[in-house]
Structures are given as structure tokens and as C-alpha cells.
């Protein structure tokens, strides 16, 4: 019995790491690439068709079609970096919380906190719920650096 508990913990931890690696490869790396390259098709491909998107500072809630239209209109050079404060998952659902930093030429960086719910759809991780906010301007470099980089 004493051996079973540590083995269960190790097994659960390894599963969590595996799911996070899958999420990184299937969602976050393509998300970052698409954001940087202004590739709306790739960007939207990591989102579920059941998407609920809420940029909370603008007090909006968007579905997949609305977010797709908004994303298609974006242009210009920009970059995004993600760091994580919390990552929770089971075999087909996950929650990622963290801080992002977006950079645009000739502008100071912009920071915000994101809360994302993901689910596996046909074996592939997708973003189901995506909300973010700069929380009244309180999110900045300090919070960004305190969060963990994607592994």
C-alpha cells in the first residue's frame, strides 16, 4: 500500500506532463506561429468550433465565426510570448492560466493574463474557452517574468 501512493503520484505527474507536451505541440506552438505570421487560418485551426472567446477588457463575448472575422482583419508585424502560472489537465480537458506579452514595432509591450479551457476533439487539443484581461493595467513585466515559460 505504501508503494502504491508514490507510484500513483508519479504516474499522474507523467500523464500531466505528456498532456502538456501535446497541448504545447498541438495548440500553443501553432498559436504563436500563427499570431506572429498573421496566419488567420492556422490561428483559428487551434480553436474549437464551439469556441467562447472573451477579451474581457472590451466586455465582449465572441463565438468562433465572430472571432474568425475579427482575426482575418488583423495585419501588421507583432509577436506574442506566453508564460504559465497554472496548468491542470485530465485525459481530454485542460485549463491553462498565464501571462502573455505582445510586442508591436514602435510600441511598448502589452501584457495580459489569460485563462484558457482546452478539450480534446477527435484526439486533437483545441481551445474551447479563451479569456484575457490586463486586469486594470496591473499585469506587466513583473507578473510575466514570475510565470513559467512553456516547456
The pLDDT of 29-48, averaged and rounded, is: 96
Q: What is the DSSP letter of 91?
A: S
Q: Is 134 left (phi over 0), alpha (psi -120 to 50) or beta?
A: alpha
Q: Average model confidence (pLDDT) for the chain? A: 91
pTM higher than 0.75: yes
From CA 66, how far away is CA 120, in angstroms rounded?
22
Query: How far, in Å, CA of 41 to CA of 55, rounded?
Result: 20
Helix (H) or strand (E) holding 125: strand 124-133
Q: Give the pLDDT confidence of 110-148 residue by residue, as tens digits.
A: 999 999 999 999 999 999 999 999 999 999 999 999 999
Delineate the domains of the chain, giving CATH numbers in brackets.
Answer: 4-149 (3.10.450.50)
Calculate the CA 82 to chain-centre distance.
Answer: 7
In this prediction, residues 19-42 reach a mean pLDDT of 96
Amino acid at each position: 500500500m505504501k508503494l502504491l501512493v508514490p507510484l500513483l503520484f508519479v504516474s499522474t505527474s507523467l500523464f500531466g506532463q505528456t498532456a502538456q507536451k501535446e497541448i504545447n505541440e498541438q495548440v500553443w506552438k501553432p498559436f504563436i506561429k500563427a499570431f506572429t505570421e498573421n496566419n488567420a487560418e492556422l490561428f483559428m485551426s487551434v480553436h474549437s468550433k464551439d469556441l467562447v472567446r472573451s477579451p474581457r477588457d472590451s466586455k465582449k463575448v465572441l463565438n468562433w465565426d465572430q472571432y474568425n472575422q475579427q482575426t482575418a482583419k488583423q495585419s501588421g508585424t507583432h509577436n506574442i510570448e506566453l508564460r504559465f502560472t497554472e496548468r491542470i489537465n485530465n485525459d481530454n480537458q485542460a485549463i491553462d492560466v498565464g501571462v502573455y506579452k505582445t510586442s508591436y514595432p514602435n510600441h511598448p509591450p502589452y501584457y495580459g493574463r489569460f485563462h484558457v479551457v482546452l478539450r480534446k476533439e477527435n484526439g486533437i487539443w483545441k481551445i474551447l474557452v479563451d479569456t484575457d484581461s490586463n486586469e486594470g493595467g496591473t499585469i506587466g513585466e513583473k507578473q510575466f517574468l514570475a510565470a513559467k515559460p512553456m516547456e
